């Protein structure tokens, strides 16, 4: 049997994309946060910089998935998520840009509205601004049932709807996300390092599936560590394995289930509910790196670093100095969900310490400490 040695980029090249996402996104050192935590060295892949409609990781998936929608002759995009979903906001933005109708199943009841403005501000406001039609439905635990039923209703009315799953997580979404690895690998090499681990928060699982599949080809020595923010680590792992298996078939890449690491214990009391560690992580990222993390995803992801348990301990045990931390956009959720909490956190703790800003240091751009 002949071994398929094609590089990741060649494998990805056969999948067409729309080009709506602003790629590649930057890879930046987080010098002050690294110093504050005492290492390992942290870098951030700025997936909030994908552009359209305030950016985020779903645009990378939608770039490929909505190419398929257009090719199939769809006139309407149908998706869904919770009230303040980042995913829905990005679906609505892309649909507007493409001139397609957008219908969203908005799930109520997965979490208690934390503020009176929860249903009208932030992403909920932007969905309307981008022209999406919102359909309120109760949360049942089945992420895709109401979206599928909406597709059926629209078909019955003569539309040509295209189904975009919860979180844009499916096999093609995972293939799309493997492009992140094809960016990180050369970006890190140019900067003179190879990350020991890529740590990110994981929920609907397509992001992690893509990272795992891409890393199998282009960064085999880099661990992909997903921090469960859904408080459902077993479900998340099952979904990552399923999407990664399908995506690896599409890309003709070997898949080893043992490479799927989903870390539990950082989700706080429930999905969407920030705990003290989340708030502290958001505060640190804001004050040390000017990174606005969100309380549902990236804040919890970083909280996973700020204590001596799996991701961080893992990197240190293996004697590595380099660790890449990924974040995604969620600024609107941030303003909506943590206004009162961040005030409380700010006033209860002393400001974090870190190296003072001095003269511009071009070594910073190369991440040399």
- Catalytic residue, chosen from 79, 85, 182, 342, is 85
Answer for the pair 17, 10: CB distance below 8 angstroms, yes or no: no
Could you tell me how many residues of this chain bind ligand PLP (CB under 6 A)? 20
Catalytic annotation present for 85: yes
Shortest Cβ distance from residue 207 to ligand PLP (Å)? 3
Rounded alpha-carbon distances, angstroms, from residue 330 to 90, 94, 351, 361: 11, 17, 23, 30
DSSP three-state, residue 368: coil
Residue 150 or 329 with smaller CB distance to ligand PLP: 329
As a whole number of angstroms, the distance between CA 347 and CA 340 comes to: 11
14-22, 71-79, 205-213, 349-357 -> range binding ligand PLP (CB under 6 A): 205-213
As a whole number of angstroms, the distance between CA 184 and CA 145 comes to: 35
As a whole number of angstroms, the distance between CA 231 and CA 341 comes to: 21
Residue 281's contacts (CB-CB under 8 Å, 6 or more residues apart) are 293, 299, 300, 301, 302, 303, 305, 306
57 binds ligand PLP (CB under 6 A): yes
302-310, 313-321, 328-336, 361-369 -> range binding ligand PLP (CB under 6 A): 328-336
Q: Report which DSSP code applies to 352.
A: P
328 binds ligand PLP (CB under 6 A): yes
95-103, 125-133, 180-188, 206-214 -> range binding ligand PLP (CB under 6 A): 206-214
- Residues 82-121 vs ligand PLP: string with x where CB under 6 A? ----xx----------------------------------
52 binds ligand PLP (CB under 6 A): no
Cα dihedral: 175, 93, 287, 306 (round 10): -30
- Scan residues 277-306 and list those touching ligand PLP (CB under 6 A): 294, 297-298
Residue 22 or 365 with smaller CB distance to ligand PLP: 22
Residue 154 or 296 with smaller CB distance to ligand PLP: 296
Determine phi and psi for 151, rounding to 5 degrees.
-60, -45
Answer for the pair 310, 225: CB distance below 8 angstroms, yes or no: yes
Catalytic residue IDs: 85
Give the binding site for ligand PLP (CB under 6 A): 56-57, 86-87, 167, 169, 201-208, 294, 297-298, 328-330
């Amino acid at each position: 049997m002949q071994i398929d040695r094609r590089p990741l980029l060649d494998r990805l090249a056969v999948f067409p994309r729309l080009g709506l996402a602003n790629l590649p996104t930057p890879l930046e050192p987080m010098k002050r946060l690294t110093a504050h935590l005492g290492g390992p060295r942290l870098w951030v892949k700025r997936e909030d910089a994908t552009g359209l409609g305030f950016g985020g990781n779903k645009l990378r998936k939608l770039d490929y998935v909505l190419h398929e929608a257009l090719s199939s002759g769809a006139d309407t995009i149908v998706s869904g998520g919770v009230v303040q979903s980042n995913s829905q906001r990005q679906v609505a933005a892309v649909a507007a840009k493409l001139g397609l109708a957008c219908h969203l199943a908005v799930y109520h009841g997965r979490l208690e509205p934390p503020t009176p403005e929860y249903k009208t501000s932030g992403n909920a406001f932007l969905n309307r601004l981008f022209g999406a039609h919102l359909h309120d439905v109760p949360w049942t635990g089945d992420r895709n049932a109401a979206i599928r039923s909406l597709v059926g209703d629209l078909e019955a009315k003569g539309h040509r709807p295209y189904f975009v799953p919860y979180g844009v997580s499916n096999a093609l979404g995972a293939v799309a996300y493997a492009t992140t690895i094809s960016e990180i690998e050369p970006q890190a090499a140019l900067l003179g390092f190879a990350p020991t681990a890529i740590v990110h928060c994981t929920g609907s699982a397509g992001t992690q599936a893509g990272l795992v599949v891409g890393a199998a080809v282009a960064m085999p020595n880099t661990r992909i560590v997903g921090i469960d923010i859904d408080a459902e680590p077993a479900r998340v792992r099952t979904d990552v394995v399923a999407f990664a298996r399908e995506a690896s078939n599409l890309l003709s890449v070997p898949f080893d289930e043992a490479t799927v690491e989903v870390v539990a214990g950082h989700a706080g009391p429930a999905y969407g509910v920030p705990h003290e560690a989340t708030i502290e992580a958001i505060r640190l990222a804001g004050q040390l790196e000017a990174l606005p993390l969100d309380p549902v995803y990236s804040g919890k992801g970083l909280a996973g670093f700020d204590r001596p348990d799996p991701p961080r301990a893992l990197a240190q045990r293996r004697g590595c100095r380099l660790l890449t931390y990924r974040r995604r956009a969620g600024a609107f959720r941030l303003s909506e969900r943590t206004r009162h909490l961040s005030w409380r956190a700010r006033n209860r703790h002393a400001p974090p310490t870190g190296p003072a800003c001095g003269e511009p240091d071009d070594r910073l751009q190369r991440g040399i400490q």
